[in-house]
């Protein structure tokens, strides 16, 4: 399974407009972060997790022009803002999300789902698939088993996804024990830094490492990164050997981990 990090930044991206934080002026490419999203490739299939406002550029940069499915973690703009830019992909794309998320998309992108004769709208071909919060797993194309991973983003319930020995979670402030149990056995974990508004980053990193140790993946890559965390290379040096900061355009192959 090949994983490409299309973006690894927080909701405003990095650098942030108007910010005077030193990381926002970094010359290091790894400190330049588009909004968080990943592309999974397996058996000639391509799955997108979250469709960020930077989707168009991310796909062009990655030289990708095909998608077989989209999985949405939650309805915040930095995770769905690029949906209109799937228009040039000339196929029906199944999109999976919680019922609340699907209903939100129908309202915010109502023009995508209108049945009319406008040619530019007729090019949208999305089939919507609701995921029940209590669902243990579901099958995509009757052969790819997907495990939704319930986590908390403040007071909002959102989901990550596990496919085989790979799991992706972003925006979580708390991971319930039931989800930690479902993560047992993963080889590669992608996780945000578990932080609420009151936590300093040094505490948040410590809490995140404690959760990672409970799950015990072979490798963990941290995403959804703020400039407040610090410069990529400085933070990377302080992390345990099996935990790394992800960065835009990083490619990993779970086969070799």
Least confident among 153-157, 196-200, 247-251: 196-200
- Cβ-contact 3, 42 below 8 angstroms: no
pLDDT tens for 7-21 read: 999 999 999 999 999
- Alpha carbons 106 and 239: distance in angstroms, whole number: 41
- Cβ-contact 49, 40 below 8 angstroms: yes
- Alpha carbons 173 and 196: distance in angstroms, whole number: 6
Given pLDDT bands bounded at 50, 70 and 90, which one contains residue 133? Answer: confident
pLDDT tens for 171-202 read: 999 999 999 999 999 999 999 999 876 677 87
Which phi and psi angles does 2 have, rounded to 5°? -105, 130
Average pLDDT score over residue span 135-141: 92
pLDDT at 6 > cutoff 70: yes
Going edge to edge, which strands form the sheet with 243-245? Answer: 138-140, 144-153, 156-163, 166-169, 188-192, 219-223, 243-245
- Alpha carbons 13 and 225: distance in angstroms, whole number: 9
pLDDT of residue 25: 98
CB proximity list for 48: less than 8 A, separation 6 or greater: 37, 38, 39, 40, 67, 69, 70, 71
pLDDT at 78 > cutoff 70: yes
Q: What is the pTM of this model?
A: 0.94
Q: What is the residue range of 27's domain?
A: 2-256
Using alpha carbons, select from 227, 185, 206, 252 the residue that is nearest to residue 22: 227
Least confident among 204-208, 235-239, 246-250: 204-208
pLDDT tens for 52-73 read: 999 999 999 999 999 999 999 9
Going edge to edge, which strands form the sheet with 2-7? Answer: 126-131, 93-98, 69-71, 45-49, 37-42, 2-7, 251-253
- Alpha carbons 208 and 245: distance in angstroms, whole number: 13
Number of domain units in the chain: 1
Average pLDDT score over residue span 128-156: 93
In terms of pLDDT, which residue wins out, 207 or 111?
Answer: 207
pLDDT tens for 80-126 read: 999 999 988 988 999 999 999 999 999 999 887 776 555 555 556 88
Half-sphere exposure of 214 (CA within 13 A, CB side): 14
Helix runs in the chain, H state only: 55-61, 77-80, 99-108, 119-122, 177-182, 201-215, 232-238
pLDDT at 251 > cutoff 60: yes
Rounded to the nearest integer, the mean pLDDT of the chain is 93
pLDDT at 203 > cutoff 90: no
> Which CATH number covers residue 119?
3.60.15.10
């Amino acid at each position: 399974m090949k994983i490409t990090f299309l973006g690894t930044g927080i909701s405003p991206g990095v650098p942030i407009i108007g910010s005077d934080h030193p990381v926002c002026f970094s010359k290091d490419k790894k400190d330049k972060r588009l909004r968080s999203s990943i592309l999974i490739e397996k058996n000639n299939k391509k799955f997108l997790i979250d469709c960020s406002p930077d989707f168009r550029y991310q796909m062009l940069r990655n030289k990708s022009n095909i998608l077989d499915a989209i999985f949405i973690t939650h309805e915040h703009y930095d995770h769905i803002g690029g949906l209109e830019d799937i228009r040039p992909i000339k196929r029906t794309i199944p999109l999976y999300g919680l019922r609340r998320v699907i209903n939100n998309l129908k309202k915010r992108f109502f023009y995508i789902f209108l049945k009319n004769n406008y040619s530019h709208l007729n090019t949208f071909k999305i089939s919507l698939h609701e995921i029940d919060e209590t669902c243990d797993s579901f099958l995509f194309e009757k052969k790819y088993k997907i495990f939704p991973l319930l986590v908390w983003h403040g007071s909002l319930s959102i989901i990550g996804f596990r496919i085989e020995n790979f799991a992706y979670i972003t925006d979580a402030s708390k991971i319930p024990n039931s989800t930690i149990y479902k993560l047992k056995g993963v080889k590669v974990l992608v996780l945000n830094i578990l932080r609420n508004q009151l936590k300093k980053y040094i505490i948040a990193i410590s809490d995140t490492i404690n959760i990672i140790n409970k799950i015990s993946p072979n490798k963990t890559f941290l995403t959804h990164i703020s400039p407040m965390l610090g410069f990529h290379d400085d933070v990377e040096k302080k992390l345990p050997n099996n935990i790394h900061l992800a960065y835009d355009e990083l490619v990993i192959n779970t086969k070799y981990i």
